[in-house]
Each structure stands twice: as C-alpha cells, then as structure tokens.
Structure 1
Amino acid sequence: MKFDDLDLKMRIYETAPDRCVVPNMYMVARLDGRNFTRLTKETYAFEAPFDEKFRDLMIDTLKHLMNCGFKVIYGYTESDEISLLFDLNENTFGRKHRKYNSILAGEASAKFSSLLGGMGVFDCRISELPTAQLVVDYFRWRNEDAYRNALNAHCYWRLRQEQLNSSQATRQLENMSVAQKNELLFQRGINFNDLPNWQKRGIGAYWKRYSKEGLNPVSGQNARVERSTLYIDLDLPMRENYSQMLSSFLGVKG
C-alpha cells in the first residue's frame, strides 16, 4: 500500500471523533492541577492555606497561557485552577476541542514545571456557553467558589494548628454556617474580611489599552501609538460589581 493511501486510511481514526465549537458560541477553558494537594502540601510543602510563591507560579502560568497563540480576553485563577475566556471570533485550529484541550494543558504543564523546577501537570476542558450571561455566570461561579474555599481553608488549617488531625478538623467544620466559620476565625484573632482579596476572590488578568509616544517609520515624525498590556488584578470585585466588570469585557451591559 502506498504511503498516501495508508496515511488517508489511518488518519480517519484520529480525526473522525473531532468535535468543533460552532461559530458564535463562547468558549471558556478551565485547567486544573493534577494531584496538586500532594504537590503543594507534601512534595514542596508550600505554606498553608495560601502561599505567595505558589500564587505567583499560577499567575505566571496564566500570563503565559494568555500569550501562547490564542486570543484570550480574560483570565482567572484561584487555588490550583485557571479559567480562560476566548474572544468570540477565536478560530484557531477550527475550534477543535482536542486541540484546545491538549495544547493548553501542555502549555500550562510545561510553563508551571519550568517555573517550579519540578513536575506539575494540568488537565483542561472546554465549556461552550451560548450567551454572554452564561459567561458572566461561569466566572461568578468560580469567583464565589474562591470565597467559599478560602473561608473553609483558613478554618481548616487553623484547627490543624491546634493539633486536630485531618478528620477531626473536617468533622468540626461540617454543617457550620458561613457566620459560624467567620466566628471561629474571629475567636482566634482572624477577621476574614481583612484577609487579602486575592485569597478570597481569586485573581484576574485582562488587557488594558494605553498610548505612548512613538516614531512613524514612514514620515519619521513622532506620533501617539496604541498598545495593550496585560494587567493582573489582585483586588477583584464581588457579586454584581464583578458581573458588570465581566460584561464590559464582552461588550454588553451588566
């Protein structure tokens, strides 16, 4: 069998399952660290419940993903996860799921590992969202998940510092309300509201436009030129204010 015939025969088994995101559908990628609990608590022993060194590794990985060949208009990270919102007209690789999942997971794993000096692996999945409101809802979901996780983590690790084991600390927090968890921390000298917002709300990344003086290469005269820079937001808003911010990225009213 000639190579061209063999190539055509076998390639169908790779491409037949391809699934593409249809036009005018919003795409959001979510990447999660694989076995990061073990990596952060045992292999590298980052500070619990939050570690600025680990935070910065995730920020640098997020920045890399927003500059690796896809048009990403908003990025978000909390804990060991990263979410990416693509431009509605993004059409790289024909919007094939397998391409986005494999490339983004590979890029994130490679960047994080090179920064860490060890192996850190991510998986990736694509959400297809038909409306701008669902995009807002998605990021509201992750933003509020960050708040819930931060409260639980601070309570859990405070109890662990009091010599409770993992099961005892988890059991004590079961069925406690948000108010009760806040009170648990307050009684131990921690006002949850005063903790850094990046711990409670996650971290955003988005493009900001600015102008600067430049030289027109044709006329040789000075001119104002427009540029974009990636801004890392450690002080994201919450709830409706966050919804309005997200809506502005989508070009719709919040």
Structure 2
Amino acid sequence: MKDCEIFSQLKVPDTAIVRVDGRRFGKVLRKLQFSKPFDIRFANGMVESIELFFSKSGINPVLAYLFSDEVSLLFIGDLPFNGRLEKIDSVIPSFISSALALNLGSPDPMSFDSRVCVIDFKDIIEYLTWRQEECWRNLVSSYAFYLLRDDGFSAKQAAERLKGLKSDDLHELAWGYGINLSETPAWQRRGILVYKQKFEKNGPNLLTGANTKAIRTRIVKDWEPPIFKTEEGARMIESIL
C-alpha cells in the first residue's frame, strides 16, 4: 500500500519560498472584535507566531516577510525534511496555525494553506518586491472598502462602488474620508520582516573566568522595512542573505 503515496517522494530544490496564507479568518477576527481593515493586535499575533516558528519549530528559514495574514518563508540550502514537499506543505502551516491560535486566544481553530515557490537565488529580491507591492495593493483596497462600510454601505454596495477603480482612484477615495494612505503605519504599507542576526556578546568564560567574546543569534522583527526595489532595500536583503 505504500505505493499509493504517489507524492511522498516529491522534493523541493535547495532554494525555495514557502508561502502560507490565512484561510477564512473573518469569522474568528469578528469574534475577537478586531478592528478593520488593520488591527495591531492581529499584526502582533502574526509576528509572535513567526518568532515562535524561528525559535521553536526546529526549521530554519533565512527570513520571513509578512503582511496581513500572509507569510513568505525563504529557505536557502537548509530545507527541512530533506526537501520533501508533502512534509513542508503540512508541518509549516500547521505549526503557524497553532501558534497564531494560541497567541490570539482564538475561540475557534485557525488554519493556513501553503504553497512552495521554487526560485533562483538571483530572483529573491524580485519575489519580495512582488509581495511588498501586493501588500500596498491590499492596504489601498482594504482601506477603501472598510471606509465605505463605515459610511453605511453594505458589503455588496461597497464592492460595486469600488469595481473597476484603479489604485489612484482608491487613494483619492480614502483622501475624501480624511485618510492619507501614504501616512499610514509603515507595517501596513510595507509589511514586516523577521530574520536572524548574529552578534558578539562579551562575558566571562565559565571555566576560566576570563572575559571572552561569543557569537550569539537574535531574532530581529523589523516593522519598518525599506522598499525592497530601492537600493537601500536591496542592500538590506543582501546583508541578510
């Protein structure tokens, strides 16, 4: 019967991105009475869940980029489970799902779906730029939709009102309600970057008592990352890689 597991030996190449995306979070977030379109409590829950993933899962991504309920985890040459696709696409989203439910105190189960993006090393910045641009599009459309909802539009009416509008039109709509989208918090506009950083720490040698330097690792949570398609953004990503 082992032969029926026809996908069990599918493997992912050395460099890949695992992207997980929240599934039907709306009902849970309403029960938790979170604000729309963004709530810092949800963002904190997402970041804390990714920090737990870095520190407790035994899996070692190079970095994680997240916005809204989406997370992209980059792996370079250190894929878990020897690159087995089924394992990667099941263990990673299940860990993050359980971590988020715990962090938010969710009254209901929560789940993420998962996909693997095979990518060349040279295309990593382009991928992150693509997701960061999606972060901006998500911000613009979300603000526009919920501003209309707060103004008395039904969900159907708001969707009809926004149908066919371009980004500039949505920006103007938000401006009409007194919201300058360019001045919203950076984490809403640019997303959040989580990665490990090595640093030197001075301290006494436990055996000799002499002062020594040791290399330690800490988890960095950057709530104001640069725009990745700029020189500053590219330099930052290259320094992490």
Same-fold call, TM > 0.5?
yes
* Counterpart residue number, 1:60: 48
* Counterpart residue number, 1:123: 113
Q: Distance in 2 between matches of 1:133 and 1:60?
A: 29
Q: Distance in 2 between matches of 1:137 and 1:213?
A: 38
2:11 pairs, out of 15, 20, 23, with 20
Does structure 1 retain, via aligned residues, the 8 Å contact 2:145–2:159? Answer: yes
Q: Distance in 1 between matches of 2:123 and 2:78?
A: 18
Q: Shift of residue 179 of structure 1?
A: 2.2
* Counterpart residue number, 1:4: none
Structure 2 residue 125 is the aligned partner of structure 1 residue 101: no
Q: Shift of residue 144 of structure 1?
A: 0.7
Q: Shift of residue 191 of structure 1?
A: 1.2
Does structure 1 retain, via aligned residues, the 8 Å contact 2:62–2:240? Answer: yes
- Shifted more, 168-177 versus 191-200: the winner is 168-177
Structure 2 residue 142 is the aligned partner of structure 1 residue 153: yes
Q: Give 5+ residue unaligned stretches, structure 2.
A: none
Q: Secondary structure at the match of 2:10?
A: coil
Q: Distance in 2 between matches of 1:128 and 1:16?
A: 17
Q: Secondary structure at the match of 1:147?
A: helix
RMSD of aligned residue pairs (Cα, Å): 1.8
Does structure 1 retain, via aligned residues, the 8 Å contact 2:200–2:216? Answer: yes
Does structure 1 retain, via aligned residues, the 8 Å contact 2:52–2:99? Answer: yes
Structure 2 residue 237 is the aligned partner of structure 1 residue 243: no
Q: Distance in 2 between matches of 1:168 and 1:104?
A: 38
| Gap change, CA 1:100 and 1:17, over 3 Å in 2 | closer
Q: Distance in 2 between matches of 1:213 and 1:17?
A: 47
| Gap change, CA 1:92 and 1:157, over 3 Å in 2 | closer
Q: Normalization by structure 2: what TM-score?
A: 0.90
Of structures 1 and 2, the larger Rg is shown by: 1
Q: Distance in 2 between matches of 1:90 and 1:57?
A: 26
Q: Deviations over 1:126-167 (max 9, x none)?
A: 1111x2232222211111101011011111111111101112
Q: Shift of residue 218 of structure 1?
A: 4.2
Q: Shift of residue 219 of structure 1?
A: 3.2
Q: Shift of residue 199 of structure 1?
A: 0.6
Does structure 1 retain, via aligned residues, the 8 Å contact 2:15–2:121? Answer: yes
Q: Distance in 1 between matches of 2:104 and 2:65?
A: 20
Q: Distance in 2 between matches of 1:237 and 1:180?
A: 25
Does structure 2 retain, via aligned residues, the 8 Å contact 1:140–1:242? Answer: no
Structure 2 residue 163 is the aligned partner of structure 1 residue 199: no
User: How many residue pairs are counted as aligned between the two chains?
Assistant: 236
Q: Deviations over 1:60-89 (max 9, x none)?
A: 111122221122111111111111111x22
Q: Distance in 2 between matches of 1:182 and 1:244?
A: 30
Q: Distance in 2 between matches of 1:102 and 1:126?
A: 11
Q: Distance in 2 between matches of 1:180 and 1:34?
A: 29
| Gap change, CA 1:33 and 1:65, over 3 Å in 2 | same
* Counterpart residue number, 1:211: 200
Structure 2 residue 211 is the aligned partner of structure 1 residue 227: no
Aligned runs of 1:44-193 on 2, under 5 Å?
A: 44-67=32-55, 68-86=57-75, 88-118=76-106, 119-129=109-119, 131-193=120-182
Q: Distance in 2 between matches of 1:16 and 1:196?
A: 43
Q: Deviations over 1:96-155 (max 9, x none)?
A: 1111111112211211122223321112221111x2232222211111101011011111
Q: Give 5+ residue unaligned stretches, structure 1.
A: 1-9
Does structure 2 retain, via aligned residues, the 8 Å contact 1:63–1:205? Answer: yes
Q: Shift of residue 32 of structure 1?
A: 1.1
